[in-house]
Amino acid sequence: MSTDVVNFVCRICSASCNLVAERQDGVIQTIRGDKHDPVYYGYSCIKGREAAHVHQLPSRLLHSMKRQADGSHEAIAAPQATTEIAARLKAIVAEHGPRSVALYIGTHGYINFTAHAMAYALMKAIGSPMVFNTGSIDQPGKGIAMALHGIWLAGTPPTETWDVLLLVGSNPLVSLTGGLGVNPARTLKQSHYRGMKLIVVDPRVSESARRADLHLQCKPGEDAAVMAGIVRELLRSELIDREFVDAETQGLDALRMAVEPYTADAVAARAGIRAQDLIAAANMIGAARRGAVFSGTGANMSGQANLVEYLGRALTSLRGWWLRAGEVKGNPGVLIEPFPAIAASPGPFPPAGFGEKLRVRGLTDTATGMPTAALSDEILLSGEGQVKALIVLGGNPMLAWPDQLKTQAAMRSLDLLVSIDPRVAGTGRYAHYVLAPKLPLEVDNATGVYEMLASFAPGWGYEVPYGHVSPPLQAPPAGADVHDEWELLYDIGRHMGLALSVKSMAVLDPARAWALATPLDMQVKPSPLEVWRMVFRGSPVDYDTVRAAGRGGRVFERPRTIVQPRPQGWTGRIQLGSEPMMQDLAEIAAERDPASESSGFPLRLICRRMHDVMNSSWVENPRQHRPWAYNPAFMNPEDLAQIGAAAGDVVEIRSARDAILGIAQPAPEIRRGCVSMSHCWGGNPDEPEQPEHGSNTARLLFTDRGFDRYSGIPLMSAVPVRVSLAPANTRALPTAAVHAAAI
C-alpha cells in the first residue's frame, strides 16, 4: 500500500484555499487545510473537505445527457453531443443572427479560468455580445460604484494596518466574500488583538456581528441611509483627511449637501437604530488612521446597491484610506497583473450606456457586466434580436435568477438550452443537452481568480505575492465520458467551423488582454497545459514558474513595488458628488414615510449565506447537512408566536409575486419583522413543493419592478412578504427532516 500527501487549489469558491489530500494507492482518504501555508494558515471549510466525497455522489453525471421528446434525458457520447449542439447553433445563427445566442457564466464558471476564457472565445467567434454573469446578481453595485467614484490605482492599505473595518450586509466569517481575507476568523482575531474595531451594519446578529465592537442592527433596505448618516457625521465633525480630499477629489460640496437630511435622529427613526450608535460608528471611523469598508451580498441585493457601494468608496476617500506615494504595495502581482502602483485616480468613467443595448427596460452593458436579470425577458420577447439559444456554464438559472416563474418560461421557450453541469439540476431538467464535465480534483487549478478580486474591494486578493498551481489529483471514474469544460466549448467551436482565440485572463485591461490573445489550432486540440499558459499569458510571474514551484502555495520573491506619485499633468480626480448618486440620496430622503409597511406584506425577506453549501451545489450531500438539509425560514420567536408557529412548522411565505413554503426556525438573533432565508435552494415550479429539501426564494421576486437603472437587478433582499401557517395538509413532515433547534 502506497501513501502520499498532495496539495491542491480548492475550486469550490473564489477563495481558492490551499488544501492537503492524503491518498492511499491513489484514492483520496482525507482532505484538510495546510497549516504551513503562508496565507491560509490551515484554513478549510466543509465544502472543500468534502470534495472527494462529492465526486462519488450518485447524482454526479458520468456521461452527457440529451433531452428526449417526453422530457426525459438519455446518455449521449460527448463528441456526438458537441457535434449536434454545433449544428443547431449554426442553424440558429443563420436564421436569427449572432445575437440570438447568449452565454451565462455562473459562479462555478466564473472561478474556472480556462472555461471562462474559452466561453468568451466561442462567443466572440460567433459574434454575439450577449454574455452575462453572476456579478450583476450578487455584487452589482461594486462595478457601478467604481465607475461613478473612480479607481484609486495604488489600491488599499494592508489589513494589518487597519484601525477599523466597516462591514455592510456582509458576513465574511461564513461567506469568505471579502473584508477579512481567506482566513477570516484568524484575521479578525489578530486584528482585534492589536486594537482594530469592527462595525457591522446588518438586520441580524450574524456570525460577524457577534464579534463586532458595534452592531447597527438596522431595518432591511436601510443600508444607504445608515451610510449617508455616517458620512454626514464625518463631514459635520470635520473628521476627514482634508489634505487628501483637497488634492485628490472633487464634488465634496455636492456630497455635503446631499447627506445633510440624514441627521443621526432622522436615520435612527427610519433605520430603527439608536442615534448615539450611529454617532459612535462615525467617531470610530473618524479616529482611525487607516481602515476599510466592505459591502456584501445583503447590501447589494436590498435595492440600493450602487449607492451603498458608492458611499463606502466616498467614505474611504474622505478618510484618505488609500495607499500613498512612497508606500510599499505588498503584492506586485503573480498570476494577475494589477493596476499600476500610482497614487492617483483616472477619475470616474461611464457606469453604463455603452456596448450592447438590451431590448427591455432601457438597459445596456455596464461596468458590472450585462444585466442578467433581463436575460429571461430577452429570451421571451419575440422579434428581431430575440435570444433563441443559451449556453449555461457553471450556473443554475432556475434557482439563481430572480423571478423563477419567468425564468422557467424562458428556459422552456428556448430553441436550444445547453447546460455544462455535473448534475441534471433545476436548469438541466429543461436543457436539450447537459454536458458532463470533469470535477475539480480531476483537473488543473490555480489561484488567479482570488488574486484578480483584489481590484474590486478591500479584503479581497492576496496582500503578498502568493501563487499556487496544482495538477489533477485523480482520474475520472473508469468508463466515464467527462471532459474539462474548456474542451467541450472548444469542440463546439471546432464543429461550427469557427476560429477561436483565447484572451489573457492575467491582464485587467481588456484591450491589452485581447492583444495578448492566442489563436487556437482548430484541427489539433491544445493540451490543458497549453490552455493554462494562454490564460495566464502576460502574467507578472510566468505560469510555468508558478507551476514548477513545488508542493503547495508560496510567496514569490518579487521586486519591491513603491507607489509612485501622481505624474505631472495628471488631471483625474475621485468623484465624491456623482450626480446620479446625489439624486438617489435626495429621493430617499424625500420619501414621505419610509417606515410604512407595504400593504398586506408587513415582513421583509432577507438573504443569508449557509456555511456548509455553496449556492445550489451538491446540496444533496448528506455530509454537508450541518445542521440543515434545507434552507429554514429563520424568524424572531416573537414573530413566529404572533402567527402561532413553532420550530419545524411549515409556513407560507407570500409576496406580491407568488408564494413558497418554508420550515420555520426560531432565531432570536433576527430582527423582528424579518424572515431570513438562503437563496438558490428548492425545486422548479412544476415540481411538488418539498420544503424539507429546500424552498426557492427567487419565486417571490419580480424582475420588472423596482429594478436598478444600471444593472437591472430587482429587489432580491428586503422583499415585502407576509408569513402564515401553511394549510394543515401541507404541514406534516417526517420528524427526521426537521431540526427542532439550530445547532
User: HEC profile for 577-598?
Assistant: CCHHHHHHHHHHHCCCCCCCCE
The mean per-residue pLDDT over the stretch 717-736 comes to 75
CA gap 486, 616 in Å, rounded: 22
226 or 619, greater pLDDT: 226
Residue 724's DSSP bridge partners are 652
CA gap 519, 514 in Å, rounded: 11
pLDDT in tens, 412-449: 999 999 999 999 999 999 999 999 999 999 999 999 99
Per-chain mean pLDDT for the chain? 94
Predicted local distance difference test score (pLDDT) of residue 505: 95
Spelled out in words, what is the top-level CATH class assigned to the domain 67-133+371-430+475-541?
alpha beta
Strands (E), 64-150: 64-67, 73-76, 101-105, 131-133
Q: What is the percentage of the chain residues whose pLDDT exceeds 90? A: 90
Phi-psi region of 295 (alpha: psi -120 to 50; beta: other; left: phi over 0): beta
pLDDT band at 597 (very low <50, low <70, confident <90, very high): low
pLDDT in tens, 110-134: 899 999 999 999 999 999 999 999 9
pLDDT band at 611 (very low <50, low <70, confident <90, very high): confident
Is residue 656 scored above 80 in pLDDT?
yes
Residue 32's DSSP bridge partners are 20
pLDDT in tens, 358-413: 999 999 999 999 999 999 999 999 999 999 999 999 999 999 999 999 999 999 99
Pairing status of strand 64-67 against strand 73-76: antiparallel
110 or 468, greater pLDDT: 468
Q: Which residue has the cell 445583503?
A: 298
Q: How many CB atoms lie within 10 A of CB 334?
A: 31
Is 497 exposed, middle or buried, given 0-12, 13-18 or 19+ CB atoms closer than 10 A? exposed
pLDDT band at 178 (very low <50, low <70, confident <90, very high): confident
Predicted local distance difference test score (pLDDT) of residue 592: 65
Spelled out in words, what is the top-level CATH class assigned to the domain 140-347+575-586?
alpha beta
Alpha carbon of residue 462 to chain centroid: 18
Predicted local distance difference test score (pLDDT) of residue 25: 86
CA distances from 433 to 58, 68, 382, 423 (A): 19, 10, 23, 12
Predicted local distance difference test score (pLDDT) of residue 497: 98
Q: Is 264 helix (H, G, I), strand (E, B) or coil?
A: helix
- Among 18, 27, 14, 91, residue whose Cα is nearest residue 55: 27
Phi, psi of 99 (to 5 degrees): -65, -15
Predicted local distance difference test score (pLDDT) of residue 491: 98
- Among 532, 538, 680, residue whose Cα is nearest residue 9: 532
Predicted local distance difference test score (pLDDT) of residue 176: 82
- Among 653, 672, 662, 634, residue whose Cα is nearest residue 724: 653
CA gap 701, 485 in Å, rounded: 31
3-state helix, strand, coil in the chain (%, to 5): 35, 20, 45
Q: Are 89 and 101 in contact (CB under 8 A)?
A: yes
Q: Is 322 helix (H, G, I), strand (E, B) or coil?
A: coil
Element (DSSP H or E) covering residue 184: helix 184-193
Is residue 513 scored above 70 in pLDDT?
yes
pLDDT in tens, 208-254: 999 999 999 999 999 999 999 999 999 999 999 999 999 999 999 99
Locate CATH 3.40.50.740 in the chain.
Answer: 67-133+371-430+475-541
For 454, which DSSP code?
Answer: G
Locate CATH 3.40.228.10 in the chain.
Answer: 140-347+575-586
Predicted local distance difference test score (pLDDT) of residue 593: 57
Pairing status of strand 554-555 against strand 466-467: antiparallel
Task: Fold for 597-737, please state it.
Answer: Barwin-like endoglucanases (2.40.40)
Q: Which residue has the cell 473584508?
A: 179
Alpha carbon of residue 620 to chain centroid: 22
Q: Are 323 and 157 in contact (CB under 8 A)?
A: yes
CA gap 146, 60 in Å, rounded: 40
For residue 634, give the C-alpha cell. Answer: 429563520
Locate CATH 2.40.40.20 in the chain.
Answer: 597-737
Is residue 615 scored above 90 in pLDDT?
no
Residue 627 preceded by cis peptide, ω within 30: yes
Q: Are 332 and 253 in contact (CB under 8 A)?
A: no
Is residue 595 scored above 50 in pLDDT?
no
Strands (E), 324-401: 328-329, 352-357, 364-366, 389-393
Q: Are 498 and 522 in contact (CB under 8 A)?
A: yes
CA gap 115, 531 in Å, rounded: 10
- Please tell me the pTM assigned to this model: 0.96
Q: Are 663 and 633 in contact (CB under 8 A)?
A: yes
